[in-house]
Structure 1
Amino acid sequence: TVVIPLLSFFSSLSSGLQGCRRFQSSAVNYNTMLLEADSERLYVGARGAVFALNASDISASSALTIEWEASPEQKRQCLLKGKDNKTECFNHIRFLQRFNSTHLYMCGTHAFRPLCAYINEKTFVMSSQPEEGRDKCPYGPTTGYTALIIDQEMYTASQFEFRSFPDIRRNSPSPTLKTEDAPTRWLNEADFVGSALVRESLGSSTGDDDKIYFFFTEKSQEQTTSYSHSRVTRVARVCKGDRGGRLTLQKRWTSFLKARLLCSLPEYDFHFNMLRSVFVMPGHTPQDTLFYGIFGLEWKNVKASAVCRFSLSEVQKAFQGPYMENQNSGFKWKEYTGKIPDPRPGTCITNALRARDINVSTSLPDDVLDFVRRHPLMSQQVQPSDKRPLLFRKTTDYTHMAVHTSQGLDGQMYHILYMGTDEGWLHKAVEIEGQLHIIEELQLFDEPQPVNSVLISAKQMSVYVGSPSGVVQLSLSNCRRYTSCYDCILARDPHCAWNGAQCVDIMTHTDRSTLIQDIQNGSRGCENTQDDVALRYRSVRVGDDVLLQCELSSNLATPIWTLGGHELQGYGLNSGFRTGTDGLLIIEARQDQSGLYSCYSVENNIKVAIVSYNITICLDLPPPPPRPPPPHPGPLLPHSELLSPRNMQAMYLSLITILGGLCVVLTVVLVYVGFCLRVGNRGKYSLRTAAAAYPNNKRHSRNRKQHRSSSHMELKTISSNCNGNGFLQIVPGEGHPSPNKEPPPPAPPLPPTVQLPSSVCDIPNGLSATLPSVLRRMNSNSYMLLRQSDSENTSPLCYSFAEELNRILEKRKHTQLLPRPDESSV
């Protein structure tokens, strides 16, 4: 099932991002973040600078800065290598972590000559001169990369040298280790996205070692040559205590193994073969560790994302299974069925091996190490929980995620995911019985830009989002945006509950006995609450069109309309009603359609009243008040020579001559302008955009924002048959950009039109057999039926556009609205 966010909030609306804090500077590309909960500091690495921010309020003026940019000479050398002077020839901070109790460690690309440096945490300055970083940091700002500092040892995975193969390394202290390239290449065009330490030695009954897991996408090795370019997602593992082999695999990993991560839709045999982000969720014990991953498609022109969850036990099971064997010089791999050496290749040093005097990896037999060299790939695939994704969205590219746990009022622990998109949105979702329910989506930036990193602070109850333009801090929850009991319950937000008067954050309440929450079902607890329903009055004339608006805050809700307490059934052309996202449209109102109209929101089998309209349809509205009689003429002016007949005749002739000359000039100008317009916009009509007619429609404000540079609308008739009724369709047109400004974004594709038969007049009632029965809204514009035959027996007439528009405007002119009417537009 494709999951839709329950609520949408936009950055252009103040109610959407309440409590949002931002940090920006002259630097760009805020990609690397490190959160220190104890010191309440958020360290941020950008292009050419590192910042220390106050974690409780990143917008505070107490930010500390280290400027670290590449020298002009180094930038010149970068240009000589053929690199881009707008993106690559800078110092992009790719690594920023704690080294010990007093210092941080950072690495930067330094215009394609990587360097690393120590930072004194107390003074926030570089404590030494930068050192060589070729083996610790990639050359480019976008090269796949992940790194960890564990007990002052640095583990990295990337393509380090300029033209080398990617590998996994331990850089310091000695001995340094790396992956093998021959005779079997362990990594095949790998693109790394994440890594994690799992302390599997804690509480281990076998004396097991800690392990470092690496997550990446690489070129497939399991397939034949015809599929050699397909990509697969992997998890690899090395032992923390690995010291390499004595002769075989000297300065190479002896514990390296890798397996495929499978994230797919089984019913469609559809695989997501690109790994974008990984978040490691520690459990109460190491065996309870979970891996959350964001997966995408290899096709760049198709947007789709899936979120899969894997357990550590499933990963361990794959590494304990059968191996794959390389045949035909690497072109074909199949499962190995021969004898496996003892001790098992790729395992860590355990108590059983220590009892055999094998205390370090350099003591392993050569046949074991040679088997490891030739068999790095496991045959068994790692399946996700429930053998399927937690979430699938085919219109979104998620980029990064972070996961937070919260206990609900029912005592259960819920995993809450915060996922950033490539267009600058943040989705908050809760996992319920193996599926993700998206609580809300937040637009973080006015201009689309990708989310580069996401961090969560349980102490500050904040989520931090890094982007190309800056860092955003948001509260983990904002329960005040739910204004009613049903809004609070239907959200199914583990952070929020209803206290009888408002939606509150449960973390701020020690006494939770009176709070109402239903995360599992999202439907119980509000049965005895009463919400005030707005009642509006309107009087209209017979034959007028009336739009009754009903704005639903939830994207999952469905509107239902009643008239006099009875639900309206069917919205065909002959019913006199249309329904859409705007509300209910009464077409050519009749007197028998007067009454009380009520709009209900139906969601999760719950029916909630939203608004009611008392509509009075009159045969004719009261006539306008009579005009006052003309004033009595005053006394005549005294006779003057200037008003003699001879002088008056001369004045009239002069005036006529002047007006005639002006008419000639205006005629020439109008002919010239008309000719230019006919040549430039032949066959088009332009109207001012109608996007501003819906200022309260939050659901489509993002589309209005994206097309605000288009200042005209284009009107096209669907049917070109003059003998049939015209059905005009309002679609976005092309605006005229102002000079010295960038051109507006391209208009969206036209909505689907109605295909009419060749003989429209043969259809009963004009177009009633082909027009849609429901008004659909796109980019804040609704379709408008401008002309329809009055009866089945009347032949349709042909009206020009000007005549039809004048006729409707003339009729609308007489509609009488009550004081303070609600918004209405047709």
Structure 2
Amino acid sequence: MKGFLSGYIWLAAEFQLLLGAGLKDTPTLGLKNTPRLLSKDIFTAAFEYQTIQNHSVFLYQEDSKELYVGGTDFVLKLDVDDYSITEKFPLRTTGQQQCEENSCENVVTVIEKFQDSLFVCGTNGHRPQCWKLFPSVQNETHEIMRSYEGTGISPFVHTQNYLSLSVEGDLYAAAPLDADGSSLQFRRKAGGRTNVWMYDSWVSEPTFISASWVKRKDDPDNDKIYIFFREKNSDPSLEADPWISRVGRVCKVDEGGSKRFFQNMWTSFLKARLVCGFPDESLYFTRLQDIYVMHAENWHDTKVYALFTSSWNSTAVCVYSIGMIEDVFENSTFKGYDNDVPQPRPGTCVSNSRSLPRATIDIVKDYPEMTDWVHSLHYTAPFYISSNNYTKIVVDRVQAADQNMYNVLFLATDSGKIHKVLEAGSEPFIISQTQLSNTSTIQVMKLDSQKKKLVVGFSEKISTVDLQRCQEYNSSCADCVLARDPYCAWTASGCTPTVVGSIQNIKNGGISVCSRQAVKSMNRSKRETVSPRPLNSRTVHSVPKNVPFYLSCPIDSYHAMYTWEHSGGSSPCLQMLSNCLHLIPSMAQENYGDYKCVSIEREYRKVINEYQLIEQNPPFERSDASALVPRIAWITLLAEAVLEIIK
């Protein structure tokens, strides 16, 4: 028997190695800072490319049926309801004889609704070019009518940094002016207003992340364009952060300076440091990765969700308001400038920027940085910190059953997952994790808040993701409420998209609200039925003595604690991917009987699976007990368990 015990210990260690490998990308049970649920099979429609796309760009407007997709040598117009191609525009490189054999691709990088046309730009074999696509009167399709020099709008290769923004007939862009990726700055490049650009010393090796127009309905002359970017830190010391994240701004009405001074230069450009971290410890996430701007009726309340990475392999989300950003620009001193501030204050929007006094423009020219930093709404710490490597963020605003509005973050990881995170108060709640692709990362992610959909682009496909997957919480009222998903609530028909008067508790997930379920049931019509996932009935297994055996039950919530109850005692769950296992190394008399797999989340106790193990007759006879569990038998057992779980 000694040989058997030592063999079991060795094999149990081997199982733990297998267990650890399986859990690499799986949430750990019982931790609140991990996703509560693993979501599967949520695509409602998909379009597959004929060839892999190393880069793609979307133009999609909310509640529209039209999705424009730019790839290598083409633009597609898709119907998002069924992803059928309604139009296809070949955009091959012009003048191919002048480009090298392997660099003649035209990778589309910009698609904008610009003035009266669809404006498209691409790398064009390392010679950026733009085209206007006009609707044809005869067949209502598009045709290329004009082409334009694209330098400064599209990069020379798609891996270079760039961005574009169309605002009321004007095109703002940032793209390299040289083939090596240098001379990168933010410009107003085309449209009805004067083309303007940045002064060379304002930014140092910038990476532009996003630009956003924030309207002021009551004061349109004060409309601003906000630019989010990171730049190389000029401080060479080892203690200094290598990157500094910034928010800059310019006035939409800015036409540049006079002919004598600062002509075609921004006269309103200012920048400030955007900080995310722990100010008390002077510990910051310094590398800005992505931005999502949630516009509000009052411009002060417009929120900026910023995604940062750090040098210690963590990512963070910090939340800012435009009101807080403006407070810094309007009231901070100018870094390095100690004299009296002239009037109008540098950065002020004026109807005629060419008439600004030299003293005001001189400060913008030489001291555009604010002394004060822009801190997040939560100030003392980021809103959300994770060890996941997030690459993209979008945020939806959802009205819950209590008529309050809640924000839900969708964060894309570099391994093809999306995390759904609730913002309810100061603490994030990670609702779910969804594996969208096992082979590629997410290139583009567009939100349709009205349809409650995400349009997601990969190198091999485009997919629509339904954000209202309420059937995943349909086991009971408690399961629905514990999910804290603003899209879903408990009704007479089960867990369904939220309606007024349905049962929900987004603020804390307390299931005491489910006591009202009886009242709801009384009002249920005869045709309305609740179809929750039934609990597994008791399963009976006939097992010989002295053989290894395992029991399994699915994990419904990773925020719950799971135990196996047997003969008045309990034992912990051994987590394998999305299942809980109970391993019995060798069946003995005390191992027979009834087993329950029980989950406990907050005050909610649920029996997931029930088993009964009975002794198999005639007994399985072997003279040497250690021979009953040879290494190959255990490996086979574990392989069968893993295969069953993966299925």
Are residue 137 (structure 1) and residue 154 (structure 2) matched?
yes
Partner of 1:166: 184
Partner of 1:50: 75
Partner of 1:568: 570
CA distance in 2 between partners of 1:583 and 1:623 (Å): 25
CA distance in 2 between partners of 1:390 and 1:226 (Å): 28
The equivalences for 1:538-577 within 5 A come to 538-564=541-567, 566-568=568-570
Partner of 1:6: 36
Residue 271 of structure 1 deviates from its aligned partner by 1.8
Q: Which of 585, 598, 611 in structure 1 is aligned with 2:583?
A: 585
Q: Which of 49, 59, 66 in structure 1 is aligned with 2:89?
A: 66
CA distance in 2 between partners of 1:18 and 1:367 (Å): 58
Residue 30 of structure 1 deviates from its aligned partner by 5.0
CA 692–548 in structure 1, closer or farther in 2 if over 3 Å, else same: closer
CA 104–440 in structure 1, closer or farther in 2 if over 3 Å, else same: same
Are residue 104 (structure 1) and residue 96 (structure 2) matched?
no
Single out whichever of 546-555 and 245-254 deviates more from structure 2: 546-555
Residue 452 of structure 1 deviates from its aligned partner by 1.4
Does the Cα contact within 8 Å between 1:430 and 1:493 map onto a contact in 2?
yes
Residue 249 of structure 1 deviates from its aligned partner by 1.7
CA distance in 2 between partners of 1:364 and 1:502 (Å): 64
Write the letter of the residue equivalent to 1:439.
Answer: I
Residue 214 of structure 1 deviates from its aligned partner by 0.7
The equivalences for 1:483-632 within 5 A come to 483-485=474-476, 486-506=478-498, 512-513=500-501, 515-524=502-511, 525-526=513-514, 532=535, 534-564=537-567, 566-568=568-570, 579-581=574-576, 582-616=580-614, 618=615, 621-622=617-618
CA 124–194 in structure 1, closer or farther in 2 if over 3 Å, else same: farther
SS at match of 1:534: coil
CA 452–9 in structure 1, closer or farther in 2 if over 3 Å, else same: same
Does the Cα contact within 8 Å between 1:209 and 1:239 map onto a contact in 2?
yes
TM-score (norm 1): 0.65
CA distance in 2 between partners of 1:218 and 1:462 (Å): 34
CA 267–467 in structure 1, closer or farther in 2 if over 3 Å, else same: farther
Does the Cα contact within 8 Å between 2:199 and 2:265 map onto a contact in 1?
yes
Which structure has more RCO (C-alpha within 8 Å, separation ≥ 6)? 2
Does the Cα contact within 8 Å between 1:523 and 1:606 map onto a contact in 2?
no
The equivalences for 1:754-793 within 5 A come to none
Residue 600 of structure 1 deviates from its aligned partner by 0.8
Residue 25 of structure 1 deviates from its aligned partner by 3.1
User: Structure 2: which 5+ residue stretches go unaligned?
Assistant: 1-30, 519-531, 621-631
CA 495–313 in structure 1, closer or farther in 2 if over 3 Å, else same: same
Residue 284 of structure 1 deviates from its aligned partner by 1.7
SS at match of 1:19: strand
CA distance in 2 between partners of 1:583 and 1:241 (Å): 65
CA deviation profile, 1:254-311 (whole Å, cap 9, x unmatched) = 10000111111457643211111111101121121111111113x5xx6432111110
Partner of 1:724: none
Q: Which of 192, 195, 203 in structure 1 is aligned with 2:208?
A: 192
Q: Which has the higher strand share?
A: 2
Residue 593 of structure 1 deviates from its aligned partner by 4.5
Residue 596 of structure 1 deviates from its aligned partner by 2.5
Partner of 1:40: 65
CA deviation profile, 1:472-524 (whole Å, cap 9, x unmatched) = 11112221222302332222111111224522112xx5xx43x3212112231
Does the Cα contact within 8 Å between 2:152 and 2:176 map onto a contact in 1?
no
Partner of 2:642: 694
CA distance in 1 between partners of 2:574 and 2:445 (Å): 41
Are residue 126 (structure 1) and residue 74 (structure 2) matched?
no
Q: Which of 278, 283, 289 in structure 2 is aligned with 1:270?
A: 283
Residue 66 of structure 1 deviates from its aligned partner by 0.5
SS at match of 1:695: helix
CA 608–243 in structure 1, closer or farther in 2 if over 3 Å, else same: same
CA deviation profile, 1:158-217 (whole Å, cap 9, x unmatched) = 323335422111122452211112xxx1010000111100113x224xx75111011111
Are residue 419 (structure 1) and residue 411 (structure 2) matched?
yes
SS at match of 1:694: helix
CA distance in 2 between partners of 1:262 and 1:4 (Å): 25
CA distance in 2 between partners of 1:374 and 1:588 (Å): 79
Write the letter of the residue equivalent to 1:314.
Answer: M
CA 129–342 in structure 1, closer or farther in 2 if over 3 Å, else same: closer
CA 593–470 in structure 1, closer or farther in 2 if over 3 Å, else same: closer
Are residue 116 (structure 1) and residue 138 (structure 2) matched?
no
Does the Cα contact within 8 Å between 1:482 and 1:503 map onto a contact in 2?
yes
Partner of 1:316: 326
Partner of 2:307: 294
The equivalences for 1:639-654 within 5 A come to none
Are residue 77 (structure 1) and residue 99 (structure 2) matched?
yes
CA 38–465 in structure 1, closer or farther in 2 if over 3 Å, else same: closer
Partner of 1:444: 436
CA 77–381 in structure 1, closer or farther in 2 if over 3 Å, else same: same
Write the letter of the residue equivalent to 1:242.
Answer: D
CA distance in 1 between partners of 2:222 and 2:304 (Å): 19
CA 91–408 in structure 1, closer or farther in 2 if over 3 Å, else same: same
CA distance in 1 between partners of 2:619 and 2:549 (Å): 21
The equivalences for 1:371-410 within 5 A come to 371-387=363-379, 388-394=381-387, 396-410=388-402
CA 305–229 in structure 1, closer or farther in 2 if over 3 Å, else same: closer
Partner of 2:261: 248
Does the Cα contact within 8 Å between 1:166 and 1:187 map onto a contact in 2?
no
CA distance in 2 between partners of 1:623 and 1:30 (Å): 63
Residue 50 of structure 1 deviates from its aligned partner by 0.6
CA distance in 1 between partners of 2:124 and 2:240 (Å): 35
CA deviation profile, 1:131-159 (whole Å, cap 9, x unmatched) = 11113222220222111121211111232
The equivalences for 1:699-714 within 5 A come to none
Does the Cα contact within 8 Å between 2:42 and 2:466 map onto a contact in 1?
no
SS at match of 1:460: coil
TM-score (norm 2): 0.83
CA 593–136 in structure 1, closer or farther in 2 if over 3 Å, else same: closer
Q: Which of 165, 177, 197 in structure 2 is aligned with 1:148?
A: 165
Residue 542 of structure 1 deviates from its aligned partner by 4.4
CA 252–45 in structure 1, closer or farther in 2 if over 3 Å, else same: same
Write the letter of the residue equivalent to 1:621.
Answer: N
Q: Which of 187, 204, 225 in structure 2 is aligned with 1:212?
A: 225
SS at match of 1:568: strand
Residue 31 of structure 1 deviates from its aligned partner by 2.4
CA 470–586 in structure 1, closer or farther in 2 if over 3 Å, else same: closer
SS at match of 2:482: helix
CA 273–550 in structure 1, closer or farther in 2 if over 3 Å, else same: same
SS at match of 2:554: coil
Residue 114 of structure 1 deviates from its aligned partner by 0.6
Write the letter of the residue equivalent to 1:98.
Answer: K
Write the letter of the residue equivalent to 2:596.
Answer: S
Partner of 2:198: 179
Q: Which of 95, 106, 109 in structure 2 is aligned with 1:94?
A: 109
Q: Which of 428, 438, 444 in structure 2 is aligned with 1:453?
A: 444
SS at match of 2:643: coil
